[in-house]
């Protein structure tokens, strides 16, 4: 079962006079990754190394440290904790003592690991986009249903009625599909919108 983290956490430690600060955040897509990295650009740091994992997609960056000594160990820590939809950024302020490649791997991987130990792990619940439509007089029933289950949705009013796009947890799909059949007396079907896979 994939897990992610509930909320952002950070951890700092000094290793041979260099200060390392790890920040881990939950992310849902690559735009969230970009936004976070842009918002956390810190020109006072010597290096800002990071790794993220979204499903099967992974990226990492050594930001000027010797290749393989920063981004990859951070990614290994994310994967070692069986996490996904997570970004870990490790900032380093150089303190004048070189750590060597082994020391860097331990420092970046270790700081990221300590940071992730502080995070609350939550089960990542798979969600699917669905679309359906109904008539105006039926919309109140579905609106009540969606709100009661705290389902995210958007509605669009058309001449024929209401078109709804919703994000459902997998176990919510069948009950909503049968409710739709009942209320519309078999006139409408719930459509699952398959997301294109970039893998």
Q: Which CATH number belongs to the domain containing residue 61 in this structure?
A: 3.30.230.30
96 and 184 in a single domain? The answer is no
Torsion of CA 146, 149, 152, 155, to 10 degrees: 10
DSSP string, the chain: --EEESS-EEEEEEETTEEEEEEEEE-SSHHHHHHHHHHT--TT-SEEEEEEEETTEEEEE-TTSSTTSSHHHHHHHHHHTTB-SEEEEEEEE--S---HHHHHHHHHHHHHHHHHHHSPEEE---EEEEEEEE-HHHHHHHHHHHHHTT-EEEEEE-SS-EEEEEEEEHHHHHHHHHHHHHHTTTS---EEEPPPP--
Domain termination residue (choose one: 101, 123, 145): 123
110 and 154 in a single domain? The answer is no
159 and 115 in a single domain? The answer is no
Q: Is residue 198 part of a domain?
A: no
108 and 12 in a single domain? The answer is yes
142 and 179 in a single domain? The answer is yes
119 and 133 in a single domain? The answer is no
**Can you give the residue range of the structural domain that contains 173?**
127-193
16 and 114 in a single domain? The answer is yes
Q: Is residue 34 part of a domain?
A: yes
pLDDT by position in tens, the chain (length 199): 689 999 999 999 999 999 999 999 999 899 999 999 999 999 999 999 999 999 889 999 999 999 999 999 999 999 999 999 999 999 999 999 999 999 999 999 999 999 999 999 998 877 889 999 999 999 999 999 999 988 999 999 999 999 999 998 888 999 999 999 999 999 999 999 876 544 4
Domain termination residue (choose one: 123, 148, 175): 123
CB 193, CB 154: distance < 8 Å = no
60 and 133 in a single domain? The answer is no
166 and 115 in a single domain? The answer is no
pLDDT tens across 81-111, in order?
A: 999 999 999 999 999 999 999 999 999 999 9
132 and 175 in a single domain? The answer is yes
Q: Is residue 187 part of a domain?
A: yes
Taking CA atoms, 188 is separated from 131, 154, 163, 181, 195, in Å, by 10, 18, 11, 6, 22
In angstroms, rounded to a whole number, what is the distance separating the alpha carbons of residues 31 and 106? 29
CB 91, CB 10: distance < 8 Å = no
The structural domain count of the chain equals 2
61 and 119 in a single domain? The answer is yes
In angstroms, rounded to a whole number, what is the distance separating the alpha carbons of residues 98 and 197? 42
Length of the chain: 199
29 and 85 in a single domain? The answer is yes
Q: What CATH number is associated with residue 149?
A: 3.30.70.240
């Amino acid at each position: 079962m994939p897990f992610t983290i509930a909320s952002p956490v950070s951890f700092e430690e000094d290793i041979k006079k260099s200060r390392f600060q790890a920040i881990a955040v939950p992310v849902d897509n690559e735009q969230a990754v970009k936004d976070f990295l842009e918002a956390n650009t810190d020109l006072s740091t010597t290096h800002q190394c990071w790794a993220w994992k979204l499903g099967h997609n992974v990226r990492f960056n050594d930001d000027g440290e010797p290749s393989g000594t920063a981004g990859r160990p951070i990614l290994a820590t994310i994967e070692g904790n069986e996490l996904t939809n997570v970004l870990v950024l490790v900032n380093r302020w150089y303190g004048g003592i070189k750590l060597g490649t082994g020391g860097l791997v331990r420092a970046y991987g270790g700081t990221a690991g300590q940071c992730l130990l502080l995070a609350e792990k939550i089960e990542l619940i798979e969600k699917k986009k669905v679309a359906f439509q109904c008539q105006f007089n039926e919309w109140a029933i579905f609106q009540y249903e969606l709100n009661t289950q705290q389902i995210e949705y958007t509605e669009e009013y058309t001449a024929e009625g209401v078109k709804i796009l919703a994000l459902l947890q997998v176990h919510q799909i069948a009950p909503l599909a049968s409710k739709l059949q009942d209320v519309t007396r078999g006139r409408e079907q719930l459509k699952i919108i398959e997301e294109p896979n970039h893998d």
